[in-house]
Amino acid sequence: MKKKKMIISRETMDVDFVRKVEALSGTSVRRCFQCGKCSAGCPMATFMEHPPNRVVRLLQLGQWQRVLAGRSIWYCASCETCSTRCPNKVHLASIMDALRKLSWDLDGPSKESYVQLANKIFLDNIRIYGRQYEMRLAAVFNVKSGQFLKDMMLGPKLLSKGKLKMFHSKNKNMPEIEKIFARIEEMRRKGEAL
Amino acid sequence: MTTPLNYSYYPGCSLHASAGEYDLSTRELFKALKIGLTEVPDWFCCGATPAHNVDELLSLSLCAKNLELAEQVEGDLAVACAACFSRLKTAQHVLGESPVKRKQVEKALDAPLHLDGNVKHLLDILARDLGLERLAAAVNKPLTGLKVACYYGCLLTRPTDVTNLDCVEAPTIMERVIESAGATTVAWTHRLECCGANFTLSRPGVVIQLANAILDSAKAAGADCIMVGCPLCHGNLDIRQKEIEGVYNVEYNLPVFYLTQLVGLAVGLGPDKLGLDAMIVNPMPLLKEKNLS
């Protein structure tokens, strides 16, 4: 990535994408003046190929495909340090949320699949059980990511301490949660929500 | 005579599973302090980080639904988990500011929104509603000589205009609460640093690196133990501590308590009522050494 030449022209810029990010996140991408304070305080910057301030800069330059293709957005921990410290009140954590949503909707342009897989199982669990079911979360993740032995040593310890529940009780009002999921899907089909 | 304190209670998913001891110690502590706590009937998951990560509308809708369910129970909403607390407060904040999102969520719920109820973290209730003086008056087994590293993590204080719990860069609410229970607090560098949170499932290597820095800092500051108010922080610092010690070839042996467990000890509750046996790093040798068990 470092040595790759970056070409910026009217053709490469995509202001519509920036507008979409701003609508979703409720904050300004264009207001960032690259002081770098977000990246200085970011606990996850060491794991990213584009640190947070560069993610914003790439957006400003219309290079959103590079952002969505990378793993940076999926390595953001949502700790909100960046948003808290930004001198220009750019809510970067919300921008990261918006970028993940847009990447999620495009279904997999990013190299980082484990975080997305974990998110997917988490949301499936809410729809099926109404609440989080940690046992299923870990088990399905291990199977689907092909890491059958991941954290195997922790399992028995957690079970004996009562920290992993084998069974799960369902909410009595489950139809209500299904309706919420269904109505959101309906709104998106009709173009009433992003 | 002060007015009795009564709250609706949103435990959240973790407290019904991996953080059962946080739920138990919260209920027992509140009982001992004569604070009413009634669980919100049939609450749903707040969506936590994964929901807002990829689908803000879903996250806001789930939180709005929970706020609506909480209306059935009288009193402000007490929340134990820092992540649930952050999500519920964020939903109130965002839906209060954005008419567009508010309309979308109303449509998703097919009901008017109830956003006016107060959402409070347990720390807020102990420090402000009950008050530190009354808390101190309820202490009958002060935690004398116990050096505690108070770990805030991310979501209790950030972002400041949303959570309104304490100063965002230099909070003191945890220290004030536990000092009222007779403990000593240590000054340390990593009390606001991220532990890696839910990367514990997808990318545990991240958690091991970040949690190690936190444990290392607490140990260097001379702490006997760490106190947290979040089940994810607890999981990463307690459950993964042995593994971290192996990776970095160090020995921390730092018990990680929930704030309700330590305050519970100080008001005289026994280990069985605080779920101390569920902690992975055994706290009993430390408590014996300090004459606290």
Residues B146 and B282 grouped into a single domain: yes
For an interface test with B, the pick among A107, A119, A120 (most B C-beta atoms closer than 10 Å) comes out as A119
Q: Are residues A93 and A147 in the same domain?
A: no
- Whether B248 maps to a domain, the answer reads yes
Q: Please check whether residues B161 and B244 belong to one and the same domain.
A: yes
Q: What is the CATH number of the domain that holds A84?
A: 1.10.1060.10
SS (HEC) of B141-207: CCCCCCEEEECCCCCCCCCHHHHCCCCCCCCCHHHHHHHHCCCEECCCCCCCCCCCCCHHHHCHHHH
Task: Classify residue B221: in a domain, yes or no.
Answer: yes
User: Which of A90, A96, A134, A140 has the highest number of chain B CBs within 10 A, making it the mutation to test binding with B?
Assistant: A134
- pLDDT for B281 equals 97
Domain count, chain A: 2
Is the domain of B104 the same as that of B200? Answer: no
Q: Three-state DSSP class for B129? A: helix
- What integer pLDDT is reported at residue B4 of this predicted model? 85
- Sign of torsion over alpha carbons A76, A142, B85, A25: positive
- DSSP designation for A169: P
**Quick check: is B179 in a domain?**
yes
Domain C-terminal end among B93, B121, B149: B121
CA B232 to CA B200: how far, in whole Å? 9
**Tell me: the pLDDT tens digits for A11-39?**
777 888 999 999 999 999 999 999 999 99
Same domain (yes/no): A97, A157: no
- Cβ within 8 Å, pair A123-B50: yes
- Domain that includes residue A120, residue range: 114-189
Contact assignment for A171 to B199 by CB distance below 8 Å: no
Same-domain status, A89 and A154: no
Residues of A in contact with B17 (CB under 8 A): 132-135, 163-165
Among B20, B55, B204, the residue with its CB nearest the CB of A163 is: B20
On whether both B253 and B113 belong to a single domain, the answer is no
| Helix H or strand E segment including B121 | strand B119-121
Answer yes or no: do A88 and A39 share one domain.
Answer: yes
Nearest to B108 by CA among A77, A182, A18: A182
Residues A21 and A96 in one domain: yes
User: Which run of H or of E encompasses A134?
Assistant: helix A134-145
Whether residues A161 and B110 touch (CB distance < 8 A) is answered with no
* pLDDT of chain B, 293 residues: tens digit per residue: 467 899 999 999 999 989 999 999 999 999 999 999 999 999 999 999 999 999 999 999 999 999 999 999 999 999 999 999 999 999 999 999 999 999 999 999 999 998 999 999 999 999 999 999 999 999 999 999 999 999 999 999 998 889 999 999 999 999 999 999 999 999 999 999 999 988 999 999 999 999 999 999 999 999 999 999 999 999 999 999 999 999 999 999 999 999 999 999 999 999 999 999 999 999 999 999 999 98
Q: What is the largest CA-CA distance in chain B?
A: 58
User: Does pLDDT of A170 surpass 90?
Assistant: no
**Domain range for B30:** 6-121
| Helix, coil or strand: residue B233 | helix
Residue B129 domain-assigned (yes or no) = no
Question: How many structural domains is chain B composed of?
Answer: 2
CATH number, residue B103: 1.20.1050.140
What is the pLDDT averaged over residues A80-84?
Answer: 96
| Structure confidence at residue B284 (pLDDT) | 97
Give the angle B235-B37-B176 at the CA atoms, nearest 5°. Answer: 60
Provide the pLDDT for residue B173: 97
Q: Are residues A180 and A129 in the same domain?
A: yes
What CATH number is given to the structural domain containing B261?
3.40.50.11810
In chain B the first and final C-alpha atoms are separated, in Å, by 33
Same domain as B106, residue B184 = no
Assess whether B18 and B71 both reside in one domain: yes
Chain B residues close to A137, C-beta within 8 Å: 201
pTM for this entry: 0.94
CA distance B122 to A85: 26
Interface size between A and B, measured as CB pairs under 8 A: 170
Q: How many other CB atoms are found less than 10 A from the CB of residue B72? A: 11
Supply A50's token pair. Answer: 């584009």
Q: Output the pLDDT for position A8.
A: 72
Are residues B114 and B185 both part of a single domain?
no
Residue with the bigger pLDDT between A43 and A163: it is: A43
CA distance B291 to A51: 48
Give every CB contact of residue B60 below 8 A, 6+ residues apart in sequence.
B91, B94, B95, B101, B104, B105
With beta carbons less than 8 A apart as the criterion, state whether B113 and B105 touch.
Answer: yes
- Residues B116 and B146 occupy one common structural domain: no
Say how many C-beta atoms besides its own lie within 10 A of residue A2's C-beta.
4
Quick check: is A10 in a domain? no
Question: Residue B24 — φ and ψ, nearest 5°?
Answer: -60, -50
Residue A146 Cα distances to A37, A153, B145, angstroms: 38, 17, 48
Indicate whether A4 belongs to any domain. Answer: no
Mutate to test the interface with B, among A90, A140, A176 (most CBs of B within 10 A): A176
Q: b or e along B135-173 (b: 16 or more beta carbons within 10 Å of the residue's beta carbon)?
A: beebbebbbeebbbbbbbbbbbbbbbebbebbebeebeb
Cβ distance of B108 and A101 shorter than 8 Å: no
Asked if the structure places residue A133 within a domain, the reply is: yes
Chain centroid to CA A89: 21
Residues B79 and B115 in one domain: yes
| Alpha-carbon gap: B288 to the closest alpha carbon of chain A (Å) | 21
The CA distance from A30 to A15, in Å, is: 10
Q: CA of A112 to nearest chain B CA: how many angstroms apart?
A: 10
Among the partner-chain residues A80, A163, A187, the one whose CB lies closest to the CB of B18 is A163
Q: What is the DSSP letter of A87?
A: T
Is residue A3 pLDDT above 70, yes or no? no
Instruction: Look at strands B184-185 and B119-121 and give their pairing.
Output: unpaired
Q: Are A36 and A67 in the same domain?
A: yes
